[in-house]
Amino acid sequence: MVKKAELHVHLEGTATPALVRKMAAQNGAPLDPKTFKSDGEFAWTDFWDFLRCYDKAAATILTKDDYRLVTYDYLARCAQEEAIYVEMFSSPDHAADVGMSYVEHLGGIAAGIDDAKKEFGIVGRIIVTCVRHFGPERALNVAQQFVATPHPYVVGFGMGGDEAQFHPKDFAPAFNLASEAGYKTTNHAGEFGGPESIRASLENLPVSRLGHGVRAIEDSALMTELADRGIPLELSPGSNIATGLYKDRRAHPFKALMEAGCIVTLNSDDPPYFATSIGHEYDEAARNYRLSDTDLENITRNAIRAAFCDDALKEELL
Ligand code: ADE
Ligand code: ZN
């Protein structure tokens, strides 16, 4: 089986419906029954409703040990699919919303990474993220805690959330703080925003990768720029199809971006919401884009080269 690496997955978005129900029951956390469909899967109708469902499910992760378990559970599933490296987005804002400190939240995730490494050999790292629709003030607060609390597993800073809210320049203080402290950064752009949203990110934020960036396909000059500058794209075809951006795998521009010379990677984003996994993304890409094992191995190498971890670890993984 081809070894895999993942750069774009939201830790709070990896918790399965079963795990969310278990944590809610253990913690006595109120859980809106409308969070689930009758088949037990997460219930949401469009991207914005997905974000609401995600917030409700994330609110069941209440303790440091819950974060350990969510992290361990996800990395165990990845290891079964022959993933060797996973960079996970953590959201201190979601932890703070249930009363958990930055340090507790981070400690839980780090413990999950340690347990998974011991048991399966898989390597996990953390990208601390802010949430765009929570606004620039909260983002700066996350960045301040991020730079004040270095941890060997925390390798970068990023932002997810609703790309239609605010402007990238509003988040420049947060991103610049992270960048000036020596961290690499990534931002969700070109998912529900078009090429202009990608350009705005590149012009206003010190990003070295793009979360999604898929809609660069709509602007050939931008595609060329991304290829020439070697800015890796954290592509997530299953996510884009589930949220209605593209009709199916064949309609997704993964292959076209790859053929245009962009550095492409494969990612699951929020696997239980989008009925996917890192293994499924690799399998579907192989089938729909006619990729050989060598092509898939190159995608894994792209991800490891684009990872935010240190060079010694990359050497070990490559
Ligand atoms: N947060 C979790 N998943 C996300 C996605 N696909 N886009 C933006 N923000 C997110
Ligand atoms: Zn994402």
Could you read off the pLDDT of 304-314 as tens digits, one per residue? Answer: 999 999 999 99
What does the pLDDT read at residue 224? 98
Given 12, 81, 163, 191, which residue is catalytic?
A: 191
Ligand 2 centre to CA of 240 (Å) is 10
Percent of the chain predicted with pLDDT > 90 = 98
pLDDT tens string 151-205: 999 999 999 999 999 999 999 999 999 999 999 999 999 999 999 999 999 999 9
User: Count of CB atoms within 10 A of residue 140's CB?
Assistant: 19
* Rounded average pLDDT over 3-31: 96
**Mean pLDDT lowest among 29-38, 180-189, 242-251, 290-299:** 29-38
Q: Which amino acid is at 200?
A: A
**pLDDT for residue 30 is more than 90:** no
What does the pLDDT read at residue 179? 98
pLDDT tens string 255-284: 999 999 999 999 999 999 999 999 999 999
Whether 191 is catalytic is yes
Closest ligand 1 atom, residue 192 Cα: 7
- Which residues neighbour ligand 2 (ion) by CB within 5 Å? 160, 269
- Contact (Cβ atoms closer than 8 angstroms) between residue 191 and residue 245: yes
pLDDT tens string 75-130: 999 999 999 999 999 999 999 999 999 999 999 999 999 999 999 999 999 999 99
Alpha-helical segments (H) within the chain? 17-27, 47-58, 64-80, 92-97, 102-120, 136-148, 172-180, 195-204, 220-229, 237-242, 254-259, 278-288, 293-306, 311-317
What does the pLDDT read at residue 76? 98
Closest ligand 1 atom, residue 243 Cα: 6
Domain locations in the chain as residue ranges:
4-317
* Rounded average pLDDT over 21-47: 94
Confidence of residue 29 (pLDDT cuts 50, 70, 90): confident
- Contact (Cβ atoms closer than 8 angstroms) between residue 51 and residue 128: no
Confidence of residue 133 (pLDDT cuts 50, 70, 90): very high
Closest CA to 223 of 247, 199, 191: 199
| ipTM > 0.90 for the complex | yes
* Rounded average pLDDT over 288-296: 98
* Rounded average pLDDT over 226-232: 98
Residues at CB less than 6 angstroms from ligand 1? 10, 13, 54, 160-161, 188, 191, 239, 269-270
What does the pLDDT read at residue 6? 99
Closest ligand 1 atom, residue 239 Cα: 6
Fold category of 4-317 in CATH? TIM Barrel (3.20.20)
Could you write out the DSSP letters of every residue in 114-163? HHHHHHH--EEEEEEEEEGGG-HHHHHHHHHHHHHS--TTEEEEEEES-T
Ligand 2 centre to CA of 220 (Å) is 23
pTM of the model: 0.98
